[in-house]
Structure 1
Amino acid sequence: MQTKKIINDGNRAVDEMLEGILAAHPRHLKSVEGSPRSIVARDGPRQGKVGLVIGGGSGHEPSFLGFVGKGLADAAAIGNVFASPPPDPILECAKAVSGGAGVLFMYGNYAGDVMNFDMAAEMAAMDDIEVRTVLSTDDVASAPRDQRHKRRGVAGNFFIFKAAGAACDRMLSFDECERIAGKANDHTFTMGVALSPCSLPQTRRPNFEIGPDEMEIGMGIHGEPGIAREKLKTADEITNEMLDRILDEMAPARGDKVAVLVNSLGSTPLMELYIMNRRVKQRLDEIGVSIHASWVGNYCTSLEMAGASITLHRLDGELQTMLDHPCDCAMFRAG
């Protein structure tokens, strides 16, 4: 049975979405002429500043479009649903934001994205634009601890992009921007849970099957298999199971400080997210870890998938400064 969606044509959904986003946020966003999948901040790119280009597949809104603006990403290259953008729009983003100080590429660690962003970097080099890349690998469930370089980038992009964007906006050197981006990634840990599938606009059919009384811990944002399929539990039990895995790896000490993101995968309502956030705070209070800032809502979705993720971003003085640095994007503001 096909799912219901408010769309015109599944094959046009991404382009029509982009038209709507540009119409809604003309103060923040524009597209590169001749390259409608290259979305650039109206305020941000400037001479002498390291340019920050992010990007990935559609279907995760407000990632990646929502994080383009002053103080965060300078541009985002947009792919089809759950698919990497091709090299050309990535290259156009790099050209649009290059201020002579280098361009930093940041995106989730997926094979298609790596291949296409690397190709774009090679093409940019032919235009004398130096590009460096920092991958996000915050998904604790997607590979063992000793293989973190193989992990996927998921909702933790929120904090990782934020730190990198602040470093770039503060006109730090290319080396420093790259270092801070990598450090932010190393300090970010995410775990998700899925309760129901999503469906692509082109097919309108569920992209995986799960029982009415089941949940899957660790499922990826494209429906990649998780680490355990279990009977549905209470909100506190689910939150505990996710936090146990995050805290085991992060190994925080009493007195540490974190930022928290409780993220909907698409259809999970705020009521349920806030119930989970309540338990996150209880658990962190129990171990003496303080919360510097929290965000609850839709930040990295998977179309209409039911489920949620929890991200902890371990702060030191430098990362807290980057987190608190002002930014003004189409769908996100801070400071």
Structure 2
Amino acid sequence: MGRVNRRILTLLAALIPVLALGIAGSAVTVPFVALGPGPTFNTLGVVEGKQVVDVRGATVNPTSGNLNMTTVSVRDGLNIFEAFGLWADGNYGLVPRAEVYPPGVPRDEVDKSNQQDFKNSEDNAELAALHFLKYPTDVQVAGLADNGPAKGLLNKGDQIVDISGKAVATSADVVSAIQGEKPGVVVPIVVRRGGAEQTVQVKLAARPDDSAKGYLGMTPTEVAQGPIQVDFNLADIGGPSAGLMFSLGLVDKLSTGKLNGGKFIAGTGTIDPDGKVGPIGGIQYKMIAAHDAGAETFLVPADNCNEARQRTPNGLRLIKVDTLTTAVNALNDLNVGKPTPSCG
């Protein structure tokens, strides 16, 4: 009887650390998040009954196939077992939580910042596509500095027609017209407000970061001229990396032919209003997501090529792009069997 009791006690002694480890592994979260493949969305398709890229006021040409934007999933609040399981999966990577959610910054502020980045990417994507297609744009007042010299003289939504006798067609024209002017100079600005043109005289102040340079205190933005209107209908997505694929979706809808040749193309990349494509994070996870969704070709920002080349899923063709024009030309070449820019 004593021998049996000793065996039971020995077994319990061995099990207690295991049970304790199991409880700790399930209850204790780790200071890491898991990054992995996220959902992809066809910019030529429909989500929840709405066109992802919805165009009104212009002829929309037939499209087919896919031009998919890609995302990275973020899994937070992981316990030890979950973190180990995702790491062992091979499709996920663990990074310090502070890299995604900076200490001292509330989670909702991080989310709002990511959502604003996404909204900016939509605006840039629209302008890049319109510039590429030679659609005319108007320049409007998007915002005014609270203590800036234009406050009270210009109104949000005013169309900027002319500055100091120089016609304004792009946001860059505003910068060019003010650049080089000194504080105290009175600048005549022709605006269209309420359907009528008027001239507003603005006396430049000193720039907060350089007192020798003139400062207008106005943020310009470009909008499509005429009846065309573009909406991007994706919710709960953050970050700026959808810009390139949004632009390509819009270009495809507003031009003849099928930009993707009817095939499944995916990609990623930021974009600015002039069509320059910038690098993004998580390229390896986006390629996995694209490959798993059925993509045959993936558009890679030039600055991400080294990383992408090292982790390319089998069978996925990489095309290197640095501008919207490069991306469009590469897809056209792909459709007719010509060589395309490669990541190596």
Please classify the TM superposition score into its range, dividing by the shorter chain length: under 0.3
What is the TM-score normalised by the length of structure 1? 0.27
Question: With CA pairs under 8 Å and 6+ residues apart, which has the higher RCO, 1 or 2?
Answer: 2
Of the two, which has the highest radius of gyration? 2
What is the TM-score normalised by the length of structure 2? 0.27
